[in-house]
């Protein structure tokens, strides 16, 4: 089975970004089978080995590209509550979109996406198990790139995002955009590397992983201590007694000011915000207005965006190894 995830330039208009259906009851979105929403995509045990394309582009040598990609992989590997590890095998001249059982990160000319798509991650998985056996990341060679934050889109920032897809993470909605007068959206704030729209050319803000990213990769590849040291918030989102699909639920830690998000992805309107350090949380629910629903869900028609922002009626206390149950009621716009 093949799955693709993309990242768009901030100037991009609404594009069809087809990700597999997310697993219900988990924080952030994980990639999974649309025909089996209880199954998610992840690598099996062991180190993920990858090759780097040896191609030079104006302003970015093959060696500079390799170093930027290596730093991006190192950022994910440095998450202390996750077990994902990586090993760069070396340079290759192979296309990053070849289905050859080899994981490759590189530039690609034969780019069959809109020209405003910056990069795409293609996953090859075992049908039935969801185990990822190959993940290629193709950077659009027609885009101006840089590794020093000058003169083009930042390779390291985009690589951090795409490696999230490589690991099995979908998009996060913890970010804010505004419409440009000339069309498209501009990112004005983002608290996650997995937001589906990139910062502007020249920005390096996407290099840093945030709390939502760390919770996501730790849930997919947890250390033995992760679940014991963290808790969760779960419940249902309803509107007039009916379940709400596609609602974005965000837990705000009142002590650290960290944000971790979740979605209601099942027909019963249930959500779980997992991987939360113990402490007091403000719980907010909102529709997917700032980013297109099709950046998050296959079945866009099922996503409800016709409700007002709401909050839990109380501060939610999360305890290690425990779940706090909170139901949320929203009202129509």
Looking at per-residue pLDDT, the higher value among 209 and 198 belongs to: 209
> Which of 144-158, 198-212, 234-248 shows the lowest per-residue confidence on average (mean pLDDT)?
198-212
pLDDT digit string, tens, across residues 296-315: 887 888 899 999 999 999 99
**Domain residue limits, the chain:** 2-218, 230-330
Q: Which residues pair with 249 in a beta bridge?
A: 262, 285
Give the pLDDT mean for 32-37.
46
Q: Cβ distance 289 to 185 under 8 Å?
A: no
- pLDDT bracket for residue 290 (50, 70, 90): low
Name the E strands within 30-111. 32-33, 36-40, 42-43, 48-53, 86-92, 104-108
Mean pLDDT of 57-75: 97
Residue 2 near residue 123 (C-beta atoms within 8 A): yes
pLDDT of residue 163: 97
pLDDT band for 205, please (50, 70, 90 cuts): confident
Judged by average pLDDT, the poorest of 16-25, 26-35, 296-305 is: 16-25
Mean pLDDT, range 210-216, rounded to an integer = 95
**pLDDT at position 265, please?**
81
Share of the chain above pLDDT 70, in %: 83
Q: How confident is the model at residue 283 (pLDDT cuts 50, 70, 90)?
A: very high
pLDDT in tens, 132-162: 999 999 999 999 999 998 889 999 999 999 9
Please tell me whether residue 251 adopts helix, strand or coil conformation: strand
2-218 matches 230-330 in fold: no
User: Could you tell me which of 38, 22, 150, 50 has the C-alpha nearest to residue 106?
Assistant: 50
What is the rounded average pLDDT for all residues in the chain?
A: 85
Mean pLDDT to the nearest integer, 40-66: 95
- What is the rounded CA–CA span in Å between residue 133 and residue 173? 27
pTM above 0.85, yes or no: yes
Rounded to whole angstroms, the Cα distance separating 149 from 71 reads: 14
Whether the predicted pLDDT of 73 surpasses 70: yes
Residues 6+ apart with CB under 8 A from 227: 321
d(C-alpha 49, C-alpha 93), whole Å:
16
DSSP string of 181-242, one letter each residue: TTSSEEEEEES-TT-SBPPPTT--GGGS--HHHHHHHHHHSB-TTHHHH-EEEEEEEEETTE
pLDDT at 198: 81
Classify domain 230-330 at the CATH class level.
mainly beta
CATH 1.10.3720.10 fits 2-218, yes or no: no
Mean pLDDT score, 241-249: 95
Q: What integer pLDDT is reported at residue 291 of this predicted model?
A: 56
Secondary structure of residue 13 in the 3-state scheme: coil
Q: Which of 161, 173, 233, 249 is nearest to 204 (CA)?
A: 161
* Res 15 pLDDT > 70: no
pLDDT at position 14 is 22
């Amino acid at each position: 089975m093949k799955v693709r995830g993309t990242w768009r330039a901030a100037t991009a208009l609404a594009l069809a970004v087809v990700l597999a259906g997310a697993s219900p009851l988990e924080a952030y979105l994980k990639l999974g089978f649309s025909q089996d929403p209880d199954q998610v995509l992840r690598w099996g045990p062991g180190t993920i080995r990858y090759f780097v394309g040896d191609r030079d582009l104006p302003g970015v040598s093959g060696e500079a590209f390799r170093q930027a990609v290596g730093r991006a992989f190192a950022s994910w590997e440095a998450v202390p509550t996750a077990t994902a590890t990586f090993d760069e095998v070396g340079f290759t001249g192979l296309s990053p979109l070849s289905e050859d059982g080899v994981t490759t990160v590189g530039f690609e000319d034969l780019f069959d996406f809109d020209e405003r798509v910056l990069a795409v991650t293609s996953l090859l998985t075992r049908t039935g198990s969801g185990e990822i056996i190959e993940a290629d990341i193709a950077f659009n060679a027609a885009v101006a790139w840089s590794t020093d934050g000058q003169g083009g889109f930042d390779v390291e920032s985009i690589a951090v995002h795409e490696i999230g897809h490589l690991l099995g993470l979908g998009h996060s909605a913890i970010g804010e955009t505004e419409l440009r007068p000339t069309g498209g959206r501009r990112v004005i704030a983002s608290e996650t590397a997995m937001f589906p729209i990139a910062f502007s050319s020249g920005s390096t803000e996407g290099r840093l992983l945030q709390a939502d990213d760390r919770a996501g990769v730790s849930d997919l590849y947890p250390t033995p201590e992760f679940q014991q040291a963290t808790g969760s918030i779960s419940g249902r989102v309803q509107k007039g007694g009916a379940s709400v699909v596609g609602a974005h639920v965000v837990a705000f830690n009142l002590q650290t000011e960290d944000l971790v998000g979740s979605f209601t992805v099942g027909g019963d309107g249930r959500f779980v915000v997992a991987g939360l350090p113990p402490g007091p949380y403000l719980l907010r629910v909102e529709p997917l207005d700032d980013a297109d629903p099709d950046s998050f869900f296959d079945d866009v028609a099922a996503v409800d965006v016709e409700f007002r922002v709401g909050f839990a009626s109380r501060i939610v206390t999360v305890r290690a190894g425990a779940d706090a149950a909170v139901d949320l009621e929203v009202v129509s716009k």
